[in-house]
A and B are shown apart, each in its own frame.
Chain A
Amino acid sequence: MRQRHGTDEFAALDAYIVSLQGEAIQALATHIDVRDRLESVIRAAVKANGSDPTSRSKWGRV
């Protein structure tokens, strides 16, 4: 989380909850195969679009 509440009355609360976020993400990562989900998402998008919608050569996103 971006640091922007250092002086307000909720700074301690914000810092506390944000401090737990990394650990929560790690816990999720032990239960969810992100690479597998990525492949599923790309397969679904390719199926829907007819080609890889993220292809650099096709679309030239900058």
Chain B
Amino acid sequence: VLGSNGFAEFFEQDYLRVVLILMRFGASRADAEDCAQEAMTQACRNWTSIQIPHSWVRTVAIRTYLKAVRAHKRTCPLGDVSAEPYAVDPDLAMFREEQQHVLDLLRRLPPKQRLVLALYYDGMRPEEIAEATGKSAATVRSLLRYSRQRLQEVMQSEGNARISTGNP
């Protein structure tokens, strides 16, 4: 049976999550799908030797995307986009307005903060993010603090009750 030995289950559980990580990082939907698919293909090819597929495929997906960005100047702006005016990305139209807004706020963060947050909100621990991104765990924790501080300030300034009250 093709995709046996747990790969099919892994794919079905993680593929869309990897697409979402890349979109949170700033990828267009098409680029996110392509890079997630490439990472999954590599995972499939090396399936029997991968110890921790969850982290492995995310690391490869991020690297694949960054490589594509650098090579082809794709959709992810690598500079600080925090000053860009608000404009809803048509790729985000599939999401409810609240979700679109959060994605947009995430995408306005500086790239390093955006990357660690995208992985963090997927459930990775700082140590895992450090390994995936080649940064120290201390740097990751620092980036997580700055990025969440920024997000929290923006959302509180917007009057987001779920943030302001601390009662999600």
Which A residues lie at the B interface, using CB under 8 A? 1-2, 4, 10-21, 23-25, 27-32, 34-35, 37-42, 44-46, 48-49, 52-56, 59-61
State whether B6 touches A2 (Cβ < 8 A).
Answer: no
Q: Which of B11-19, B61-69, B75-83 contacts A (4 or more CB under 8 A)?
A: B11-19
Contact partners of B167 in chain A: CB under 8 A: 12
B interface residues, tally (CB under 8 Å): 47
* Chain B positions near chain A (C-beta within 8 angstroms): 2-8, 11-12, 15-17, 19-20, 29, 33, 37, 40-41, 44-48, 94-96, 98-99, 102-103, 121-123, 125, 148-149, 151-152, 155, 160, 162-163, 165-168
Chain A contact residues, majority secondary structure:
helix
Instruction: Enumerate chain A residues within 8 angstroms of B148, measured Cβ to Cβ.
Output: 10, 13-14
Determine chain B's interface SS by DSSP, over half rule: helix
Of B3, B94, B125, most buried by chain A (CB within 10 Å of CB) is B3
Query: Is the CB–CB distance between B123 and A37 below 8 Å?
Result: no
Partner of A30 from B94, B102, B123, B152 at Cβ < 8 Å: B94
